[in-house]
Amino acid sequence: MTDENGNVRFTTIYPGWYRGKAVHIHFKIRDSPESDQGYEFTSQLYFDDTLTDQVYSQEPYADKEERDRRNSYDGIFQGGGDELLLQLTEAGECYAGTFDIALDTTYG
């Protein structure tokens, strides 16, 4: 849930991968989560391939076979994924990123 300013903050592990898809994480926005009639938007954020290579060279990711899809070969990424590329910065032993999203729920 967002705060009174519409911001949400969460902590997660670096995502794994599955066959045929570039590394990504899904998110969903609902304007009325308690309602069946509210507006709902689902999308995904992508990660820089170079950073993913660095992360995946470490445990526990290094034990898994090499991923089979980079951003440039992912069909969904090719349709505008560069606008959904999460820019991460090192924050100690972690990474931090911010991504702004604005939705016009009055359209349509």
Number of domains composing the chain: 1
Q: Which of 97, 92, 8, 104 minimizes the C-alpha distance to 45? A: 97
As a whole number of angstroms, the distance between CA 15 and CA 5 comes to: 27
Domain of 70, in residue numbers: 1-108
Q: What is the pLDDT of residue 33?
A: 66
Q: What is the pLDDT of residue 89?
A: 92
Strand partners, 46: 24, 85
Q: What is the pLDDT of residue 34?
A: 72
Place of tokens 């992508």: 46
Q: Which helix (H) or strand (E) holds 56?
A: helix 49-56
Strand partners, 40: 30
Tens digit of pLDDT per residue, the chain (108 long)? 788 888 888 888 999 999 999 999 999 888 776 767 778 889 999 999 999 999 999 999 999 989 999 999 999 999 999 999 999 999 998 899 999 988 777 765
**Model confidence, pTM:** 0.85
Residue 58: which CATH number? 2.60.130.10
Beta strand 88-91 pairing with 85-86: unpaired
